[in-house]
Amino acid sequence: MATLFVVATPIGNLSDLSERAKATLGSVHMVLCEDTRVTGKLLHHFGIKTPMMSYHQHSGDDKTKKVLDLLEQGHDLALVTDAGTPGISDPGGKLVETVVKRFEKSDDKISQVRKVVVMPIPGPSAAIAALSICGFPTDEFLFLGFPPNKKGRQTYFDRLATIESTVVIYESTHRIFKSLEEINKRTPQRDLVVCRELTKLHETIYRGTAAEVTEALTSTSIKGEFVIVLAPVLSSRATNGSRGISS
């Protein structure tokens, strides 16, 4: 029986890599990486010498077949992304889906004999980290990943304005102002928490409306990756007692 380990890696601070994740990365036959250069630095830091193979959103059917063949041969593999938990707004989820369909749900007798298990090695997640410090209700929330760049972008933000529960989205340096502008057009009074560079040296937390966060970003820095948490519509302006920036 082989195992595909889905291993969460640090989103910034290398100390966040769990002991279980280190042991797993050091014991598997191969590590499947979004970018071998990024993962190579992580493995080198911890003295892990496991071979790597690139596997990302542009990997074709031949690469997927190679992964499936390795699993069928009984080799344990680890799937990682550049940062955070694979499969969460990440193309690694497609590989997990393929493996589950091929092995765990297959009627093929060979696959049943050589069963493959998909096992999570949990750890850092930018979305969950942001939710934990947002100060909004989190008994119910919706994660919507990155907004579309072009097609469907307006529909995405129109929908965002109608969702009453807490919402989490990701955004990049290049589009953070545009996304805040779209939010401000539709729900100008909605409270936000915007997290920049979580767990890294220049981690900064911004609290306020889209307009207030935009003003704060303009006077500081927009370098890095962002997580935006939108308060429930009905509780906006009621839950955000202190506004501003924290580092």
Domains of the chain, each with CATH number or no CATH:
2-121 (3.40.1010.10), 126-246 (3.30.950.10)
- Assess whether pLDDT exceeds 80 at residue 112: no
Phi, psi of 70 (to 5 degrees): -60, -40
Contact 116, 70 (CB under 8 A): no
Q: Predicted confidence band at 242 (pLDDT cuts at 50, 70, 90)?
A: very low
The winner for highest mean pLDDT among 56-60, 97-101, 102-106 is: 97-101
The mean pLDDT of 164-183, rounded to a whole number, is 96
Distance CA 176, CA 238 (A): 25
The mean pLDDT of 14-34, rounded to a whole number, is 97
- Assess whether pLDDT exceeds 80 at residue 47: yes
Of the chain, the percentage scoring pLDDT greater than 70 comes to 90
The mean pLDDT of 179-197, rounded to a whole number, is 97
pLDDT digits (tens, 9 = 90+) for 8-22: 999 999 999 999 999
Contact 230, 210 (CB under 8 A): no
- Assess whether pLDDT exceeds 90 at residue 226: yes
Q: Predicted confidence band at 233 (pLDDT cuts at 50, 70, 90)?
A: confident
In the chain, DSSP assigns E strands to 2-7, 30-33, 52-54, 77-79, 116-121, 141-143, 166-171, 192-196, 204-208, 226-230, 244-246
Q: Predicted confidence band at 108 (pLDDT cuts at 50, 70, 90)?
A: low
pLDDT at residue 240 in the model: 44
More confident residue, 108 or 8: 8
pLDDT at residue 241 in the model: 43
pLDDT at residue 19 in the model: 98
* pTM score: 0.87
* CA-CA-CA-CA torsion sign (78, 80, 85, 86): negative
- Assess whether pLDDT exceeds 50 at residue 169: yes
SS3 124: coil
- Assess whether pLDDT exceeds 70 at residue 75: yes
Report in angstroms the alpha-carbon separations of 112 from 75, 102, 103, 202: 16, 10, 7, 49
- DSSP-derived secondary structure letter, 147: P
pLDDT at residue 106 in the model: 55
- Assess whether pLDDT exceeds 70 at residue 31: yes
Contact 157, 205 (CB under 8 A): no
Q: What is the residue type of 211?
A: A
- Assess whether pLDDT exceeds 80 at residue 91: no
Count Cβ atoms within 10 A of the Cβ of residue 92 and give its class: 0-12 exposed, 13-18 middle, 19 or more buried.
buried
The 3-state DSSP composition of the chain as helix, strand, coil percent (nearest 5) reads 40, 20, 40
